[in-house]
Amino acid sequence: MTTPQGTTTSATRAADILLLFTDETDSLGVSGIARRLGLSKAVVHRILTTFVDRGLLVASGPDREYRLGPAAVALGARALRSSSLRALAQPVLADLQRTTGETATVTALVGDLRIYLAQVESPNEIKMTVEVGRRFPLYTGSSGRCILAFQRPELIESTLSADLVALTGETLTDPQRLRERLDQIRADGWCASSGERQQGAASVAAPVFDVDGYAVGALSVCGPAHRMTDEANRAYAAAVVAGAETVSRGLGWRGGLPDLPTKDIHAPSP
């Protein structure tokens, strides 16, 4: 297993195990964790025991299944409260929801994935909602691709050269077509998608930039696909882009679309 410079193997293993629980709604067992991360059961068991002792996980059931504990919940709640992106986005999300009538969300880049930080739900009886705190890949959905389009070439290449798993039958997994979509996002400043992350759901998103001009997140408006028509998407895009710029300026960005280096991102590495 390779580890980033300045970290230890044991710390990386522990972090990888804990992050697995952000992807699951149910509990996980030692065997499943060991299989997914390529670790021995003995190593996994030692780390899980430490997490249980510290309250980050709890174990239950005859098969000794593990799930997030109260300390992990407290950490997550504290992180959400202290997130500058989330705090700046909250009033903008409320405005977007009122303007469009659909659910408005804010997503953050976390490592090489993204998570939903917050949402303001549509008042419509039939609406789309997201699972706050769950991780998703950057190549799928409008929010993910808006974030990916404005990243360093290394992250773009590592994402597109990995195994691109389809989340639904509509998920775009062809690397060349994805590169073309990223080019279009860099030109337009926004992106629409339909049914890629969840069947029947559609969204329009725009990137949020930090002071360096790289995307640290995205704002989106999402709703049932039958309401998110091309005409609606174009109308909502203007509001989403304006909202994202407001949040970006709050994070120190000067405004507008950044001119980022694009070397080596239009073709796979040899």
Q: Which domains does the chain have, with CATH numbers?
A: 9-74 (1.10.10.10), 83-250 (3.30.450.40)
Residue 68: predicted pLDDT: 85
The pLDDT profile of the chain, 270 residues, written as one tens digit per residue, is 444 444 458 888 898 888 888 765 567 889 889 998 999 999 999 999 999 998 889 988 777 889 888 888 777 766 655 578 999 999 999 999 999 999 999 999 988 899 999 999 999 999 999 988 888 999 999 999 999 999 999 999 999 999 999 999 999 999 999 999 999 999 999 999 999 988 899 999 999 999 889 999 999 999 999 999 999 999 999 999 999 999 999 999 998 999 876 544 454 444
The pTM of this model reads 0.72
Residue 63: predicted pLDDT: 72
Token pair belonging to 243 = 């909202």
Residue 36: predicted pLDDT: 87
Q: Residue by residue, what is the 3-state secondary structure of 33-56? A: HHHHHCCCHHHHHHHHHHHHHCCC
Residue 265: predicted pLDDT: 47
Residue 94: predicted pLDDT: 97
Q: What is the edge-to-edge ordering of all strands in the sheet holding 191-194?
A: 135-137, 113-120, 103-110, 215-224, 201-209, 191-194
Residue 1: predicted pLDDT: 41
Q: Which of 200, 205, 204, 215 is nearest to 248 (CA)?
A: 215
